[in-house]
Structure 1
Amino acid sequence: MLLPFLGASATVFSQSDDDALAVLVPGGGTYSRSIDSNSVLAQTFFDQGLRMAWGFYFPESIASYQEASRLDPTNPMPYWGIAHAAGPNPNSRYVNLPDDPQGAGLAAIKMALELSSNGSQLEQDLINATFVLYNRDAIPDDRERDFAFLSAMRDLHAKYPGDADIATVFGEAYMNTTRWDYWESDGSAKPGALEGKAALEAAMAIEPNHPGANHLYIHLMEGSGQPELAMPSAQKLEATLPISGHMVHMPGHIYLRVGEYEKAILSNERSQIVDDQFAEIWGDTNFPMIGTYPLSHKIHKPHALDFVRYANMLQGNYEGASAAAIQNSGAGIGSLGGNNKNSAHVWITDKVFGRWDKIHADNAANKELANTPYLKGMWAYVMGSAHAARGHIVPAEAELALLREQITADGVNESGVGPTPADHVLSLAMHALFGEIEEAKGNFDNAIMHYGHAVDFQDNLSYTEPPDWSQSIRLYLGAALLAADRADEAEVVYREDLEWNQRNGWATFGLYQALEAQSRAQEAAIVKRQFDELWRNSDVELVRSRI
């Protein structure tokens, strides 16, 4: 499949220079920031570097900036670009990667300072502000330096309110200080979030199709109580950098939050095609892994596959979810998320869809594969659930005991799982399995209590998409409340779930049952029609909100 910007006869821009450090990539968008250069090609590579940086493909960005500086070695802005691309960003901070590990950013900003007299006053001011981020001699404490840089960018934005890139760097500087922690659990803003939001909105008012502002706005708003505010950014982002798989994928962050699961699947499937096409174009050209965050076309695919898995799961499509999970279990090694969570997702998908025969058949092999406390605990959770579903209480309780042991096992939090510590995720799993076992015994009050504890753990997961726990425990809590003839409470639980996991069929079906159980036939009929539409891509029938 060729995407529209890469027809069958598409070729890379002519570059005959054997010393070139980057490739000009077709489909790289049109956003440009003019620099004072006599070299048209240097300007072109600078623009590509800027767009790639705004798309979080940093090795490709740095290579493009390096080529711009090779073509115009006295221009300070390509060196500023290298410093910007090599430095921290909200994602690197979130996964605790060390800033500028090879010193490339510091070296670049020092070179930009040395050449700054060749730039405009605005460029000199931007270079000086960026140096604050790197100047450990003046401010040794990383946290203090982050806020000093934020202050410098705030001042620069006030001085140059019409510059979209400055506004975007200002918004990004705020996001670096809080590391994906922008909103309270009720969706209200934490300190500084509204200032960061205003900065990005100012950038988009100046340049509606700014690749960085729209990208960062999606990241800022996805965890808020109003993710729909970023829908315009989601709808336009791909066109700003259509050759970047990450930018093609990014709308999925909002599509998941607003319940547009088909769109999330399509954008993430398309992003994988784009990265493969990018790889063909870039080939073995210079690929400098010298910055803080290593995301690139080479390692993005596992994240996209995870979105395909999760969105299919929310649509009730086992085949789609399972295929993506299986593919990703092999792709995860070396990816940013590690392979622990990706391996467990194969098992969790089988559990979510009640593939009990398969789980039992795979028990011996998966116990052997489970070589970390997290994987041992997650397989115990899945296996215990399979036993409980068949009323096999004694083996289910044995798996529960094994799961409980993993929570305090040595090194439990050392293996890569996700932003949430593994012991937190395993504690959630323990209460969830406890609830399933108690429910299988007919002890609904105990089951409801444990599901409630699991919900508390779920609500305190570190934010990421897809989340570090795949299936909402409210689906289990609601079903148990219905079984206990507490339909009014179940209704509340399902409506709570639909506030976050909008338009998901599992909770919608539970809500329909809760309304029907309260003899609210007219409301139930409306919700049932909604469910039928939401479940059109499913391959499983529901009799309650969880299997």
Structure 2
Amino acid sequence: MRLTMTAVAAIAMAAAAPAVADATVEGSLMDLIDNPVICASPDEAADIAGAPVAEMVMVEGFGTGGFAVDTTNPQAQAWFNHGVRLRWAFEHTESVRAFQRARLLDPSCGMCAWGEAWAMGPNLNGGGTGEDTRRAALRIAREARRMARDADPIQRQMIDALIQRYSGWESSRARRFAERMDRIARDNPADVAIANITADALMMQVEQWWDDEGQATDPAITRAMQILEGTLAHTPDDPGAIHLYIHLTEWSDDPQSAIPYGERLAALAPGASHLVHMPSHTFFRVGRYRDAMMSNVNAVALDARYVDLASPPGGIRGVRLHGHNIHFGMGGALMAGGADEGLRLAERFLSIYTRHPRTDVAWGQATANNAYALFGRYGSDEQIAALAEPPENRPLMRIGWRYGRGEAAARRGDAEAVDREAAEIARLRAALPQNADHTFSSTFSEVFQKVLEGRAAMIRGDYPAAIAAYGRAAALQGEGEEGGDPPIIWFPTRRSLAAALLASGDAAGARDKVLELLEDWPSDPYSYFVLAEAYAALGEQEAAARARAAGSVEWIGGTMSLGLA
């Protein structure tokens, strides 16, 4: 699969300076309307649309990338190369602006226009799909074809392929672009740039990459894997190929294959926050939760650094994946017990995205749950009391706020307070809007209601009630699948069920439940704690010692308990 229970924030396209690309302005402004920037106010959106390209700053540290194009202007060539690097770093808006800067420096550069049109288009994070953006990109791609007399034959073929992406029947655009690029790639197997563009196109052609067994669902995915593995065999340090390979392997049957590439990606592009973040997709999938946390702690810092150095349009809220980096880091912190780092990330998330998201975006509201969960699991009483209740038009954020307060009450052993928060979640659930997101919202919120009901039952020693509550939560989580990047429900509720089974005297049932869930949540330290306790109750002391040792690898938190599992 590509992503599970996930949605990525909308993007905005930057408009060119009138001196070079008047044709892009209307399309970019319309795309900004179609795909607003996270948390941007109307005034911020206007600033983004009018951002002067000529003032763009080239920040170092985005790795390698780019290739010689039809310009004799060294600066135009440098900005073209930077645009390619930004595109593979998934800084799509900045990539468009870099190609526009290259066009300012050499208005006759056909491949610079190609780059702008390419960066405007569809990408793996779901942006660039608006109709106005497509029309603008098609105009620019056709400009590229008219201007590319000095481009080499391969690059003219690339321009023709790109025109296919934006023209003709909508249902076949992605396939035609991918097929054209694949022909070019087969003729030029050693060309890394062509390989990456082709693999990217093939991946975007398919909605779901892997079946439940991690097997490719479409020949395009098999071909993309072949291209990327071939590229990495002869160019193992290419950031673009590594980035795509991490995405492609994450939900395959072999996510471990990306580990050696992910381990060195940050060093290859130390200034690119998204590339520093990317290994966390692999790390989380294989159970390296501390590394997933730290990859994103570093990525968040790099986002702030980029804003300081480059002053991109929209500031930190215009950095479209900043919230994703924080969310992912919080997920790793929760799983690893990273209280200090996690609370700092949670504070940042809530301070930057106070108005986030739009009231009609359920996923965005749900991501705030990790921030509230961190305060609930690790915050002081004073910090919990200081958390402002979200407004009424943010019901899922309110549910997350209630859940965090419930976890804090469970830490204190206050069953009545936990029950009150669970009851408030139930009340909020009943009032959720009946819209397209209702099933997701209802499931998400009921899971946390049942978790709190289970926590209260564990405090009281009512283990049958705890088993029932946690069992319902686990069933709901299983229906929605536990995957994601990171999972929208931050932990496997099956471990809470296992803890309740153990507390009730069913050590064998607890053991079996944990062994089952570790297949999906490898190396979860809290699950290993429950497993060790189950083995000890069964009299299997050596197995208990092994489970404790395994759990200590990823855990940096404090004392564990069955009541908070």
Could you say which TM-score interval applies, normalised by the shorter chain?
0.7 to 0.9
Instruction: Work out the CA distance in 2 between the residues paired with 1:161 and 1:62.
Output: 27
In the alignment, what sits opposite 1:448?
Answer: 467
Instruction: Work out the CA distance in 2 between the residues paired with 1:335 and 1:106.
Output: 33
SS at match of 1:90: coil
Structure 1 regions of 5+ residues with no counterpart?
A: 1-17
**1:219-261, Cα deviation, whole Å (9 max, x unpaired):** 2222334221111221232244322111122222222223333
Instruction: Work out the CA distance in 1 between the residues paired with 2:474 and 2:420.
Output: 23
Instruction: Work out the CA distance in 1 between the residues paired with 2:511 and 2:467.
Output: 14
In the alignment, what sits opposite 1:373?
Answer: 395
Instruction: Work out the CA distance in 1 between the residues paired with 2:53 and 2:130.
Output: 31
Instruction: Work out the CA distance in 2 between the residues paired with 1:408 and 1:131.
Output: 49
| Letter in structure 2 aligned against 1:250 | M
SS at match of 2:125: helix
Instruction: Work out the CA distance in 2 between the residues paired with 1:212 and 1:335.
Output: 30
Pairing partner for 1:76 from 98, 106, 110: 110
Instruction: Work out the CA distance in 2 between the residues paired with 1:508 and 1:191.
Output: 37
Structure 2 regions of 5+ residues with no counterpart?
A: 1-51
Residue 251 to residue 130, structure 1, CA distance change in 2 (3 Å)? same
In the alignment, what sits opposite 1:543?
Answer: 561
Report the more deviating stretch, 216-225 or 148-157: 148-157
State the TM-score, normalized to the length of structure 1: 0.81
**1:43-80, Cα deviation, whole Å (9 max, x unpaired):** 21111111111111122212221222233332321111
Residue 74 to residue 525, structure 1, CA distance change in 2 (3 Å)? same
Give 1:394 shift.
Answer: 6.6
Instruction: Work out the CA distance in 2 between the residues paired with 1:276 and 1:399.
Output: 36
In the alignment, what sits opposite 1:29?
Answer: 63
Pair 1:251 & 2:279 matched: yes
**1:111-135, Cα deviation, whole Å (9 max, x unpaired):** 1122244322211211111111111
**Is the 2:96–2:116 contact (alpha carbons within 8 Å) kept by the matching residues of 1?**
yes
Give 1:479 shift.
Answer: 0.3
Give 1:440 shift.
Answer: 5.0
Give 1:103 shift.
Answer: 4.2
| Letter in structure 1 aligned against 2:376 | K
**Is the 1:21–1:63 contact (alpha carbons within 8 Å) kept by the matching residues of 2?**
no
In the alignment, what sits opposite 1:351?
Answer: 376
In the alignment, what sits opposite 1:303?
Answer: 324
**Is the 2:356–2:365 contact (alpha carbons within 8 Å) kept by the matching residues of 1?**
no
**Is the 2:196–2:240 contact (alpha carbons within 8 Å) kept by the matching residues of 1?**
yes
Pair 1:471 & 2:498 matched: no
**Is the 2:297–2:341 contact (alpha carbons within 8 Å) kept by the matching residues of 1?**
no
In the alignment, what sits opposite 1:6?
Answer: none
SS at match of 1:423: helix
Aligned residues: 508
More helix by proportion, 1 or 2? 2
In the alignment, what sits opposite 1:108?
Answer: 140
| Letter in structure 1 aligned against 2:162 | T
In the alignment, what sits opposite 2:3?
Answer: none
Pairing partner for 2:203 from 156, 175, 181: 175
Pairing partner for 2:246 from 200, 218, 233: 218
Give 1:92 shift.
Answer: 1.7
In the alignment, what sits opposite 1:14?
Answer: none
Report the more deviating stretch, 146-155 or 501-510: 146-155
Instruction: Work out the CA distance in 1 between the residues paired with 2:131 and 2:90.
Output: 15
Pairing partner for 1:65 from 99, 110, 113: 99
**Is the 1:100–1:106 contact (alpha carbons within 8 Å) kept by the matching residues of 2?**
no
Pairing partner for 1:520 from 514, 536, 540: 540
**1:447-491, Cα deviation, whole Å (9 max, x unpaired):** 334423322332424853222111221220110111122222222
In the alignment, what sits opposite 1:427?
Answer: 446
Residue 213 to residue 528, structure 1, CA distance change in 2 (3 Å)? same
**1:127-157, Cα deviation, whole Å (9 max, x unpaired):** 111111111xx21x3x432233333333333
**1:257-292, Cα deviation, whole Å (9 max, x unpaired):** 2333343333323323333333343247xx5x9xxx
Instruction: Work out the CA distance in 2 between the residues paired with 1:185 and 1:414.
Output: 25
State the TM-score, normalized to the length of structure 2: 0.79
| Letter in structure 2 aligned against 1:423 | S
Instruction: Work out the CA distance in 2 between the residues paired with 1:283 and 1:128.
Output: 35
